[in-house]
Amino acid sequence: MHIDTDSSHLTPGVARVLAEPWGALPDGEPVRRYTLRNAHGMRVVVSDLGATVVSWLAPDRTGRLADIVLAHDTPAEYLESGAYLGATVGRWANRIAGARFTLDGVDYLLDRNENGNLLHGGANGFHRARWDVLDDSGGLTLRLDSPEGDAGFPGNVSVQVRYTLDDDGTLTIDYSGWTDAPTPLNLTNHSYFNLNGRAGSDVRGHLLHIDADAFLEVDDALIPTGTADVTGTAFDFRHSAPLGARLDWPHAQLARARGFDHCYVVGNGAREVRPVARIYDPESGRELIVSTDQRGLQLYTGNYLDGLRVSGGTRCVQHAALCVEAGGFPDQVNMDGLRDDVILHPGDVYRQTTRYRVGVQG
């Protein structure tokens, strides 16, 4: 990895990572930020706290740069927040019902950090850990070791996340993981996108397309209860539709979650990276295309962001941003017929790739 403090003279096709101090954890351990830049001035900033995307500056149709992700100003705010802004989430992204699962005849009890369930790896998941930065000639690679018993999970697990930013505006996130005992592993990135670049606004005017015929319905605890066809419902984004109009659509599932907090079925288990979603903001002209090799895509429309303090002291409104989190299904570790797909075994390698491409249309 080429780390420098001079942001001038970027060469097309050559990645440069700029490093800078960014405060410290309560125990005094330093926290740093790493900026990836492409040849056109786009900048993505990642912190080693949580392997977190803390900024993404992208141009609109006039060339004006603005930050398209929500973030906090300090490491302390990330430790105090429960919003997972931009974080790498693990060991398990999303929810596990009852914070328990059975593997090879053994029952495992996990950290119950949301209504009796496990959410996003538990209260002290990967989002709260300081990751090590490794040598990387073309991007930014971060590594974390998770000991046996972490949040109740079996096995010692090591994971790596690699960020690369291409000149076409594509941020690629490559995940990998290893274990010394069978264990569930399901990672994702939890960035909140608002393509108009104004943290005090909402995303109701964004147009959303998701290439999915089905989604997972949920109970009152937002645990999946089964698969439902999107046809004729607010959940049908097979043709682009304004998000605000769909949020206002009468639907028991939307009322239950205060908006969308549901997983779409975008894959069948075949590990091929393919476009699965497109988000467009008519106001700025910015467009986000999401591609992944994962089975599920969680759409979360910032249903509980109202009042959250983000960068610059701005207070969010409800639906201030949306997340499109690629990974396995929520509670898949407890789903018959699909459980094996999310169990990592010794000698195997967990791999996942998700790409976020930001460009301008119109």
> Which positions are catalytic?
190, 325
- Tell which residue, 208, 308, 310, has the closest CA to residue 260: 208
- Tell which residue, 170, 220, 136, 175, has the closest CA to residue 51: 175
SS3 of the chain: the string is CCEECCCCCCCCCCCEEEEEEEEECCCCCEEEEEEEECCCCCEEEEECECCEEEEEEEECCCCCEEECECCCCCHHHHHHCCCCCCCEECCECCEEHHHEEEECCEEEECCCCECCEEECCCCCCHHHCECEEECCCCCEEEEEEECCCHHHCCCCEEEEEEEEECCCCEEEEEEEEEECCCEECECEECCCECCCCCCCCCCCCCEEEECCCEEEEECCCCCEEEEEECCCCCCCCCCCEEHHHHHCCCCHHHHHHCCCEEEEECCCCCCCCEEEEEEECCCCCEEEEEEECCCEEEEECCCCCCCCECHHHCECCCCCCEEEEEECCCCHHHCCCCHHHHEECCCCCEEEEEEEEEEECC
- Tell which residue, 5, 74, 59, 9, has the closest CA to residue 35: 5
- Tell which residue, 105, 106, 88, 97, has the closest CA to residue 51: 88
Structural tokens at position 310: 């983000």
Q: Is the peptide bond before 91 cis (omega within 30 degrees of 0)?
A: yes
